[in-house]
Structure formats: C-alpha cells, structure tokens
Amino acid sequence: MNQIRVRFAPSPTGHLHIGNARTAILNWIFARKYGGRFILRIEDTDIERSTVASEETILDDLKWLGLNWDEGPEVGGDFGPYRQSQRLQLYDSHLNLLKEKGHVYPCYCSEEELETKRQAALQRGENPRYNQKCLSLSKSEIKSLEAEGRKPAWRFRVRKGEVKWDDLLKGEISFDSEYFGDFVIVRSDGMPVYNFAAVVDDGLMKITHVIRGDDHVSNTPKQILMQEAFGWPLPKFCHIPMILGPDRTRLSKRHGATSVDELRAKGYLPQTLVNFLSLLSWASESGDEVLPVERIIGEFAINRMSKSPAVFDIVKLNWMNGVYIREMDLALLVQTVQPFLKNPLIDLRDESKLRKAIELLRESVETLNQFSDALDILYREEVKLNDDEAIEIISRKSSQKVYWAFLRSLQNFDSLDGGTFRTIMKQVQKEAGIIGKDLWVPIRVALTGKIHGPDLAGIVEILGKEKCEKFVRSLVN
C-alpha cells in the first residue's frame, strides 16, 4: 500500500490507561514519522461496560496529549463509521461471507457446557480447546436444539498447521493452530467478539501496521487466519512489551496512578507524558532523554525499540516533569498552573505577584499541584514552625543577634527588593559578627519556617518590607 495507516482502538469501559496511552503515542509517532494516517476507532461492542462518558474522557485525554487523529470520531473519514456499535451490519455481512466460504459453523453449546468441558480437560492435563462437537451436527439435531430456544454462536473453522508472522519487534513468531482450536467470532446474541470485529475493521479501513501491546500476541494467529479467509493482505504486526511497576510486576493501582487523567490531575504536563511514555519502549540514538515531540518523531525507529518489559519509574517521571516546568514559557506556566492553586490564601487577582512567585518557585517543584503548597510561604500571614531543627535554630543566641540586627538595619529602608536585602545582610553580618549558614539560615527560618528553599532575595522581594519585619519580629526574645 502506498500510505501507512495505523490505528488506536480503545474500548470505552474506563479511563485511558497508561499502557494504552503509550500504544496510542507510538502509533501516532509512527504515522507522523512516515507521513501516514493515524486512525482512532472506538471498540464499544461490550454493551454492558461501554459508556459515552468513558469515550468522552478518552477523547479528551488524547486531545490533551496532542494526539490528533486523521480519521475517527468527531473527524470522520472515508472508512467510517468509526464506532464498532455503528458497524454491526458490516460484521453481519462479513459473517455471511465466511458462511458462504465454509469457514464458520454454528455452535449451540451453552456457556455452562463449555465450562464443564474446559474444567474436565484441565483436570486431565489437556489443552482446553473446543472439541468441534457442533461441527458435525445433523439438520435434525440443529432443529431440535433450536426448538429448545437455543441460539447459536458462530465458530471459525481453524485450518490445521502452523500460523506464523514476522513481527517487526519480536521477529518470527509461530503458533500451532491446534493450540487454540475453533474459536467463537460471533456470540449467540449476535454481537461480534473482539478478534472478528478487529479483523473486519482493520481490513476495511486498510490498516497497514498494527502496533499494540504484547498481551495481544495470542490474538494475532486467530486474526491472521481470518484475514487469510477474507483474502486480505496481512498488516505488519509490532507487539510492544508491557509496562511494569517498580517491583517488576504488571502495573496496577497499587503502584499509584495508572491512568492519564490521574496523572493529569496530579499536575503532569502533556509533553512530559508523551516524552516519558515514548521512552518506555524506545530510546534516542543520542542518549538524550528530554526530547521535544518533533525530535521524537524525527528520530523514532522500530529497530531501536526494546523487546523487554519497561519499568514505570515515577522518580524519573517527576524529574522529567520538573525539567519541562522549568523550561516552560513563564506566561503559559502561570496560566497552566492556576487551576491547581487550591490554597485560599493565594490571590489570583494580583497577577504580578503570582508571576514572580511562580518564577521563583518553579525551580523547586516537579508537578503543577506542588505549587499550591510551595506558594504558601509567600502568601500566609504568619510563619509556621513544624520542624524541630528550625525551632532549635531560632532559639540560639546567634540567631537572636541576627534578628535584632536585621530589624535595626531594616528601619533604614522604605522598601525591600533583592538588592536592598543583600545590603541589609552585609550590615547584619558586620554588626552581629556572624557569617555563613549561622547568618543566613535563621533569616530563612524566620521568613519561611524552613531550613532550605528558593533564593532568599527573591522571597524577600515578594514578601515585602512589612511582612518581613512582622515575621522576624515575632521571633525575637
């Protein structure tokens, strides 16, 4: 085919999981790298679990990540509709094609009967594949079963032999079709199962490359058999490794946030997540880790993707997000961070102060939601001393000397800025005869309640003379 066409096909049964977001990102990057088409398809045939709210959340998260789709919901395209629930007639017509070719047969076995046989096979140590009981049913047997009110599912008749493909990442993979046997493609209620619907959609939408998680490897031979039955060209398959938690078990809720909306709510930036999640499967030849999306697209290559499971390292994610926060345009950062400022003391109306405060504190935060607590030291009316070491510092005689000298020197100035503060501290050093951390740390504790923090001159400039005097005076004996 002349143009690469890839798809991301989420099921709207919940939030966009990190693993699925990584799959979407890699498909989108691959399409953009080679001038292809990125198709979004909603697989909503699970009627009981699929919801409109989940679909809207997924679409919103994809837009937030910057993953614009070329075809799909809200966009349209030549191969729609792009929701499986709106494609049921297509599945029916393609089931009929398989019936005409003799590739499927009706199965009247109930779920209870199948489960009983499955358990019996497992107890015998056998592979619990279907025994083709319904393949040889006579017309009279079928009539009797239907008289009982049974409606058939439809099973795909699997050819004997090996099914193999050359995976773009894993190399040659093969399955003996005896391993899985004849499988259901349409349930007794008429709804297509995942493998059948995905094959019909991929074929009709002319998908050239299927890039997905390696938990789908076992689905691929079944899909290949159906693609062969329809006489369609096989897409190229690329199965990427799963994402693990720090303990190297499958990523789950016990590891923390596992969905895009959770990470978004915690204050991670979309460019961070695209960068970080792309590196869970791929690495730049340069060795650089903080990469704008344009570089990722330009440098991306499947042969540089890892075959091993990727570990979701929250420490690395936090570090990377901090880098993006520090590099972000200040005006944009101020706008972006405001929804995260839940502290009632922060006056959003004073844009000048807010801008200075965020510029000062951006060096010390890693996520947007950390700004709310970090800004507290610049907006509160009294200093909170919760640290035992800080409390001990203010009680020292040397600290008290610093405070008195600071207050006396402060009276010589009408206002405070960074330059004035440094002048005052030189005078304090000379008068009190105290240098180094014994000079600076007591002032930091008095103004912030903390031993460490951002540039003191910047803090003083934002607090202003009145507050600085008030805070220091509250600690003198």
Q: Which residues are catalytic?
A: 253
Place of tokens 């009983």: 116
Distance CA 292, CA 278 (A): 11
Count Cβ atoms below 10 Å from residue 199 Cβ, excluding itself: 27
- Show the beta-strand stretches assigned E in 179-265: 183-186, 209-213, 236-240, 243-244
- The 10 Å CB-count burial string (b at 16+, else e) for 323-338 is ebbeebeeeebbebbe
Distance CA 164, CA 220 (A): 9
Beta bridge partners of 192: 186
Provide the H-helix boundaries in 50-155. Answer: 52-65, 88-100, 111-123, 139-147
Q: Look at residues 368, 367, 359, 345 and name the one whose alpha carbon lies nearest to residue 461.
A: 359
* Tokens matching residue 40: 């979004």
* Tokens matching residue 377: 């030291």
Distance CA 222, CA 181 (A): 9
Count Cβ atoms below 10 Å from residue 71 Cβ, excluding itself: 19
Distance CA 251, CA 246 (A): 8
- The DSSP annotation for 273-331 comes to HHHHHHTTTB--TT------HHHHHHH--GGGB-SSPEE--HHHHHHHHHHHHHHS-HH
Distance CA 172, CA 166 (A): 4
Q: Look at residues 44, 6, 12 and name the one whose alpha carbon lies nearest to residue 25.
A: 6
